[in-house]
Amino acid sequence: MERTNDHRQPPLGKIARLYYEHGLTHQEIADLCGLSRIKVTRLLAEARRVGIVEITVHSDDHLFVGLESALGRAYPLRQAWVGPTFEDEARAAHSLGAVAAECVSALLEDRATVAVGLSASAATIPRHLRPGAARDVNFVPLTGSGGGISRAASSHELALAFAAGAGGHAYHLPAPLLARTPQAAQVWREDPAVQETLERAVSADVLVAGIGGRTGLLVENLSASDLAATRGRGAVGDISGRFFDANGAAVPCEVDDRLIGLSLAQLRAVPVRIGVARGAAKLQALRVALSQGLINVLVTDSSTAEGLLAAAGADAPAGVPASAGASS
């Protein structure tokens, strides 16, 4: 047994190599390094969390085929991708990003243009992407970038992250998410560099965006008066900052006039529209977005899928657990 004279933690890479490359058991590593078996288990988990160890499963098997098929019958969808539900927020976000990355990779084609919407859900995807799904793919922001602290990258950083993960190219939209006034927004839209990027986004083959409902990046960053004004006009959700009502129609308001990005009609015109969202706070917005064709590919978790089926008056397939991997 290898003993040390101090209490420093052995390198994660050493523990990972002993286990994954040399096939030692947890107990053998513990004996070799003078650790407890539980400590070895925690170190191996940490090695995966920080990216020292990456595990790839070579399989196209879907996790919840019954739920995906039921969603396709209940709503006008091209495809649905469903992952497990977790009570722990970090695990839920990780799982949703992994399923969404699988979906995006499956739908990419060579030389495609992908328009990416700024959202916390979309920001979970790039770390799970791998180069090789398609060649010469271009990633374009759907909107300008917000200022201050955010739970997701800026639009530009998010496009860069997608390009880095998938091995493609990224474009920049040099404008704010929300201009100070509608007049200022018009000046931004007339800038040649902004126009060029927005034109690329308009001609995108694939759209990847979160769905805002009672929560969402834009909703949480609006002033109380702006939020009250949008909801007073019937807004139930948004896609990349564009609010829609219960009929899926655009909500005319000052926030809409100030936003730098594609209009709701332009978003709807993208052929493949992937919506990534989960949670009870998103159910109403998701139901409208699905039923009105604002998105035609859905990535969500099993609990949200069951809620959407219930809202459509459809039964979930038998044998689907309400939650997987619930935190203790």
Statement: residue 214 has pLDDT above 90:
no
Rounded Cα–Cα distance for residues 42 and 257 (Å):
51
Q: Are residues 31 and 77 in the same domain?
A: no
pLDDT reported for residue 321: 53
In this structure, are 124 and 142 located in the same domain? yes
- Note the pLDDT of residue 228: 82
**Same domain flag for 163 and 35:** no
Instruction: Identify whether residues 106 and 71 lie together within a single domain.
Output: yes
Q: Given 55, 77, 101, which residue is the final one in a domain?
A: 55
Q: How far is the C-alpha of 33 from the C-alpha of 35, rounded, in Å?
A: 6
pLDDT at 44 over 70: yes
* Stretch 136-153: mean pLDDT: 76
pLDDT in tens, 162-190: 999 999 999 999 999 889 999 999 999 99
> Do 89 and 40 belong together in one domain?
no
pLDDT at 30 over 70: yes
- With a cut of 60, say whether residue 325 has pLDDT above it: no
| Domain contains 186 | yes
| Co-location of 143 and 239 in the same domain | yes
Look at residue 212 and tell me whether its pLDDT is greater than 90. Answer: no
Contact between 91 and 130 under an 8 Å Cβ cutoff? The reply is no
C-alpha to C-alpha distance for 100 and 124, rounded to whole angstroms = 8
Q: Are residues 105 and 156 in the same domain?
A: yes
Question: Quick one: 130 and 253 in the same domain?
Answer: yes
What pTM does this model have? 0.81
pLDDT of residue 139: 97
Q: 27: domain range? A: 1-55
Q: Which residues pair with 313 in a beta bridge?
A: none
Structurally, how many domains does the chain consist of? 2
Both ends of the chain: CA-CA distance in Å?
Answer: 35
pLDDT at residue 21, as a whole number = 81
157 occurs within a structural domain: yes
- pLDDT band for 143, please (50, 70, 90 cuts): very high
> Mean pLDDT across the stretch 62-88?
92
Is the per-residue pLDDT at 150 higher than 70?
A: no
- Of 134-138, 149-153, 225-229, the range with the highest mean pLDDT is 134-138
Is the pLDDT higher at 42 or at 228? 42
Instruction: Report the mean per-residue pLDDT for the chain.
Output: 88
Q: Are residues 257 and 112 in the same domain?
A: yes
Query: What's 140's domain CATH number?
Result: 3.40.50.1360
pLDDT for res 319: 55
* 92 & 226 share domain: yes
Residue 178 contacts residue 257 (beta carbons within 8 Å)? no
The whole-number pLDDT of residue 149 equals 43
- What backbone phi and psi angles, to 5 degrees, belong to 269? -80, -15
Least confident stretch, 147-156, 208-217, 280-289: 147-156
For residue 35, the domain's CATH number is 1.10.10.10
Label residue 13 exposed, middle or buried (CB < 10 Å: 0-12, 13-18, 19+). Answer: exposed
Structure confidence by residue, pLDDT tens digits, 234-284: 899 999 889 999 999 999 988 899 999 999 999 999 999 999 999 999 999
